[in-house]
Structure 1
Amino acid sequence: MSRLSVPDLQSATGATGEIYAQLKKAIGGVPNTFAAIGAHGPAALKSILAADAVLASGSLSRRDQEVIKLVISDAAGCHYCVAAHNHLAKLAGVVPTALNQIRSGEPTGDTKRDALVAFVRKLARSSGTVSDEDFAAIKAAGYTDAQLVEISLAFATTVFTNVFNRINDTEIDFPAAA
């Protein structure tokens, strides 16, 4: 059971109720993490959803976005987000074998994806400025300057939900990552 209380989704009112209604309409339900964030910080949830809308309109594929979020969540040890982004990556077309390889740090055989995974994993596990070699590698893999901005945005929103779920111990409502 999650640590923060969440009101009945049907009876939520105000800004929280509006966000829940939008989520139900858009995706058919309200994931536990969004329910808890919205119950206690509707403006924070709106900002995360707005950032996700920016990513959706950008040039990074949905697959790449979910791979980024999976790698960051795995590095952070956020079990909720690993389950969520593993599931969402499958829905975006990443095959289960590749997901297992990504989570275990093995190459997938997709050179561009592997470069993205390596770059994001280094970002998640290090501090300071990215090395010239790492920058050159992600650029050589074909990622544009605009996509580096999008990678940064995906990273930032994922860190927020990772930290929140670790604080809340959010009950996982996605299939476990196998």
Structure 2
Amino acid sequence: MSRINVPAVESATGATAEVYAEVKKAAGSVPNMFVALGALAPQVLKSVLNAEGVLGAGTLSRQEAETIKLAVSEQTGCDYCVAAHTVIGKMTGLSAQTLRQIRAGEPTGDARRDALARFVRELQTTSGTISAEQFAAIKAAGYSDAQLVEITLAIALTVFTNTFNRINDTDVDFPPVR
């Protein structure tokens, strides 16, 4: 059970009810993480959703965004986000095998995706400015400077949700991933 107690979605009022309605319209339901964020800080959930909209309108493909989010979630150890991004990754067309390979840090057979996952893992596991070689490798994989901004946004959003879920121990309402 999640650590933070929040009221049922159906009892929400005001800004919380409004943001829940947006999520439900877009996704069909309100995932537990969004329930908790919306109940506690609807403006924060709205900001996350707006940032996700900016990311979705960018030039990274949905598969690339899910590659980033899954790699970050695996590195951080967020069981909620690993489960969520595995499901969403499948919805974007990534195979179960590819998703397992991304999580394990193994090659997927797609050089561009592998370069992206490696770049994200390096950013998550090192400190300081990335090396010239790391920068050259992501650029050689075909990522533009503008896409580096989008990659950064995807990482930042994922670190935020991972951190909140790790604090809350949010009940996983997606199929669990082993």
| TM-score band w.r.t. shorter chain | over 0.9
The 5 Å alignment of 1:64-143 reads 64-143=64-143
Aligned mates of 1:143, 1:151 — CA distance in 2: 9
1:100-154 per-residue CA deviation (whole Å, 9 max, x = no partner) reads 1111111011000000000000011111111100000000000111110000000
For the Cα contact (< 8 Å) 1:37–1:44, is it kept in 2?
yes
> Distance in 2 between the 1:30 and 1:126 partners?
34
Superposition deviation, residue 175 in structure 1:
1.0
Q: Say yes or no: does 1:165 pair with 2:165.
A: yes
Structure 2 distance, partners of 1:28, 1:45, is 17
Match of 1:45 in 2: 45
Check whether the contact 1:87–1:177 (CA below 8 A) recurs between aligned residues.
no
| TM-score, normalised relative to structure 2 | 0.98
Alpha carbons 1:67, 1:117 under 8 Å: kept? yes
Unaligned runs of 5+ in 1: none
1:6-57 CA-to-partner distances (Å, cap 9, x unmatched) read: 2111120011110001111111010000100111011111110000000110
Alpha-carbon RMSD across the aligned residues, in angstroms, is 0.7
TM-score w.r.t. the length of structure 1 is 0.98
Percentage identity across paired residues of the two chains: 61
Cα distance, 1:177 vs structure 2 = 2.2
Query: After the TM superposition, which parts of structure 1 deviate over 2 Å for at least 4 consecutive aligned residues?
Result: none
